[in-house]
Amino acid sequence: MPFVKKHAALLALAVAVILVLGAAIDVDASKNGGIFSLKDISGSRKALDGVTIRGELSDGYQRTEFKLTDGRLDTHASWNGQPEWLGTSWTMRTGSKTIPGRFYNVQNEGGAFSLSSHDSDESGSSIGFFKVARVSPPLSFPEGVLYSNPLNYGVAVIGERVFYTVPAAAGVKGKGIIYEVNFYDWFGSNGMQSGEFASRAVVEYSLISEKDSDRGISVLGLEAVGDKLVLLTEEDETLRIRSYDSASGSLLGDARLPDFRADILPTNKSFYRASYLSDAEEQSNRLLLHFQNLSLTRPLLLSVNLTDGAEVETAVRMELGDEQEEDSFQGFTYARERNGKLYVVKTVREINEDLPGFYRLMLPLHAYIYVYEDSRLIYQGEFVTDLNDDSIELATRPDPSRGISEDPMRYRAFRNLAID
Contact positions vs other proteins (CB under 8 A): 5-10, 12-13, 15-20, 22-24, 26-27, 30-31, 33-35, 59-62, 79-85, 121-123, 386, 389-390, 392-393, 395-398, 409-410
Give min distance, CB of 57 to other proteins, in A.
Answer: 12
* All residues at 6 or more sequence positions from 395 whose CB lies less than 8 Å from its CB, including other chains: 359, 362
Which CB, 11 or 247, lies closer to other proteins?
11
CB 59 within 8 A of CB 407: no
Angle at 307 between CA 304 and CA 313, to 5 degrees: 30
Q: Which is nearer to other proteins, 22 or 50 (CB)?
A: 22
Shortest distance in whole angstroms from residue 90 CB to other proteins = 15
Nearer to other proteins, 236 or 390 (CB): 390
Report, in Å, the least distance between residue 27 CB and other proteins.
Answer: 5
Between the alpha carbon of residue 95 and those of residues 13, 122, 233, the distances in Å are 62, 19, 15
The helix (run of H) or strand (run of E) holding residue 65 is: strand 62-69
User: Does residue 26 sit in helix, strand or coil?
Assistant: helix
CB of 179 to other proteins, least distance (A): 36
- Report the candidate in 149, 144, 299, 294 with the shortest Cα–Cα distance to residue 220: 149
Least distance from C-beta 361 to other proteins, angstroms? 15
When the beta carbons of 51 and 57 are compared against other proteins, the nearer one is: 57
How far apart, in Å, are the Cα atoms of 184 and each of 35, 117, 126?
52, 10, 18
Contact 155, 162 (CB under 8 A): yes
Nearer to other proteins among residue 114 and residue 123 (C-beta): 123
Alpha-helix runs per DSSP H in 52-135 = none
What's 340's DSSP letter?
A: T
In whole angstroms, the minimum distance from the beta carbon of 94 to other proteins comes to 22
Smallest separation, CB 34 to other proteins (Å): 5
Q: Considering the complex, what minimum distance in angstroms separates the CB of residue 12 from other proteins?
A: 5
Specify which residues 345 forms β-bridges with.
334, 369
25/112 with CB nearer other proteins: 25
Cβ distance to other proteins smaller for residue 357 or 398: 398
Q: Which amino acid is at 363?
A: L
Least separation in angstroms between residue 384's CB and other proteins is 11
Give 83 or 111: the residue with its C-beta nearer to other proteins.
Answer: 83
Contacts of 298 (CB under 8 A, 6+ apart): 317, 318, 319, 320
Pick between residue 4 and residue 265 the one whose CB is nearest to other proteins: 4
DSSP state letters, 138-192: -EE--TT--BSS-GGGGEEEETTEEEE---BPTT-EEEEEEEEE--EETTBTTBS
Q: Under 8 Å CB-to-CB from 332, ≥6 apart: which residues?
A: 89, 346, 347, 413, 414, 417
